[in-house]
Structure 1
Amino acid sequence: MTEGNNAFVVGGKSFTAVAINCAAKAGEWIMTKLGNYASLEIKYSEHDLVTEVDKGSERLIRKLIATHFPHHSFLGEEGCEPGPEASAKALEEASDSEYLWIVDPIDGTTNFVHGFPFFCVSIALAYRGEIIVGVVYDPVRDELFVAEKGKGAYVHGRRMQVSEDRTLKEGLIATGLPAEREHALPVNLRGIAELASQVRNLRVAGSAALHLAYVAAGRLSGFWEIGLNSWDMAAGVLLIQESGGIVTDTKGDTYSLGVRNVAASNGYLHDELLAALKKAEAAGS
């Protein structure tokens, strides 16, 4: 990837280079703690976990970003109170920021806790509400997914392209099991029940950010989930958009940082995915 667009460089410092460096350093540190974390806490529900590794990763990323861009704003999962209302409030309070870093220090904490190798670091940068840089780093596979607005998306230094699957029946679709079990989970389960017989297969691997990166890389045909937060999605959204795919909310409206119910695909089967969610009353409120 080349630098030449001043929108991505301030004072000679590339936003993307800083994001990559932060993700790599955090990922390296996380791997030293795999199977060796010291504390496990419950956040919003017994399904919403956090360890000292999540918190340490976020501190590391925050400090590195502040070293390069001390006047930028920062929105990280572990810096917010748990629950959908608190995360929505935190995003609203940061919405007037010119530059806003949006970070999930470990997306897939439950997987990390159990040693299931599907988790990542997700870092995005929004400029006046528009995502301009997205980095998702899988430290287990040492896979770095990188996108800049208008410059494409890359993994292993190669440009990514979404899949060519034209219909749901050809598609491998992913989703999640929301931590919010009273409202979001039942809605998502209705979607699973509707789509299971319509698609080639479903995957529920436990990291929204990696699922989105896989859509961008053509490994998945689509993804949807109810009740996500901005830090789960922001980097992955840009990866998909820069790989030729589409991201909307589950009702088909334009994606914004405030979207919580997301649908993402290669574009070809997007309308079919949305129609299935609507039929099952699985698009959320």
Structure 2
Amino acid sequence: MEIEELLEISTGLRDSIRSYIAETADYGEIIVRRERDVTRKIDMFAEHALEQELASCNYCARIISEELGDHVYPKGGDPEFTLIFDPIDGSTNAILGIPFFCSSIAYSPDVDHVSFDSIQASVVATIYGKTYYAEKGGNAFVDGKKLPREFKGKTKPIFSIYTYGAESIPESVIQFQKGAKNVIFRVLGSIAIEICLVAEGVIDAVMDVRGLISGYDIAGAALILKESGGLFTDMNGEELRSEVGEMQNIALLAALEPETYRKMLAVLASK
């Protein structure tokens, strides 16, 4: 699959989700409850919208997704490739009418043993219109502009640090937040978009200490950051190399500049 096809699929998905939200009053209704998460109507709509996009292109794919798990569409078919799909990243924002959420798709030509290293292309399509995308070895872009971008007027570093819901928060992280007088902190509610904002140069680093992230949440954004020249690891500084579908309970660190990455890794390493 070429990046142009992945972009077309992602654009079609975004258009469908926008229409569904506009036409469906109860799109946020919970239909499945799990121990640490829920599935809403909008999530399942997006899952089926991807299937419709694949059907229109006569594709058969292995899909690793948040709501439907690891499956083949059409059922019983012989998959040609794998898509790692997060239908709605930032679903709380979505149901509250906060226009900061996205759909994320990562593509691997492999059908078996799909790791982060095997991902060859990805798209993160935000509901507010920006589209981030990358091909492995081919740079990363937002709306046709190469990443990272230059920004004028930014006077302070911006960090996004996710701690809510964590069973424990490293004391070093708490002290860093208390002592960082010339830093702006923002937690925006969509980890995939925030990693893309790191790739763009808007946010300087994203840290998530909760251990609640799964592989499908970040597969698309991780490639975009790496192709922008950024760094993306777990909290111990190790790259994510396991099979995407088996990765759960991830705590992560993402930064564009090596100096920022080393600084934040040192915060995590200190006691």
State the TM-score bracket (shorter-chain normalisation).
0.7 to 0.9
Q: Cα deviation per residue 1:208-240 (whole Å; 9 max; x = unaligned)?
A: 110111011111111121320111101100110
The alpha-carbon deviation at position 189 of structure 1 amounts to 7.1
Contact 1:162 1:244 in 2 (8 A): no
SS at match of 2:123: strand
Q: Distance in 2 between matches of 1:271 and 1:62?
A: 41
Q: Give the direction of change, closer, same or farther, for the CA distance of 1:177–1:72 in structure 2 (3 Å limit).
A: same
Paired residue for 2:121? 133
Q: Distance in 2 between matches of 1:21 and 1:250?
A: 34
Query: Is 1:236 equivalent to 2:221 in the alignment?
Result: yes
The alpha-carbon deviation at position 125 of structure 1 amounts to 1.1
Contact 1:247 1:263 in 2 (8 A): yes
The alpha-carbon deviation at position 162 of structure 1 amounts to 6.8
Query: Is 1:43 equivalent to 2:64 in the alignment?
Result: no
SS at match of 1:219: coil
Letter aligned with residue 96 of structure 2: H
Q: Give the direction of change, closer, same or farther, for the CA distance of 1:174–1:191 in structure 2 (3 Å limit).
A: farther
Contact 2:204 2:255 in 1 (8 A): yes
Tell me the percent identity: 23
Q: Distance in 2 between matches of 1:210 and 1:265?
A: 13
Q: Cα deviation per residue 1:123-167 (whole Å; 9 max; x = unaligned)?
A: 111344221111001122x10001000111111211011779xxx
Q: Distance in 2 between matches of 1:115 and 1:107?
A: 14
Q: Which stretch of the first structure deviates more once superposed, 196-205 or 33-42?
A: 33-42
Give the gaps of 5 or more residues in structure 1: 1-8, 81-89, 92-96, 281-285
Q: Distance in 1 between matches of 2:55 and 2:223?
A: 23
Q: Give the direction of change, closer, same or farther, for the CA distance of 1:172–1:154 in structure 2 (3 Å limit).
A: same
SS at match of 1:212: helix
TM-score, structure 1 length as denominator?
A: 0.75
Matches within 5 A, 1:78-227: 78-80=67-69, 99-128=81-110, 129=115, 130-140=118-128, 142-161=129-148, 171-177=157-163, 181=165, 185-188=166-169, 192-196=173-177, 197-198=179-180, 200-225=183-208, 226-227=211-212
RMSD: 2.7
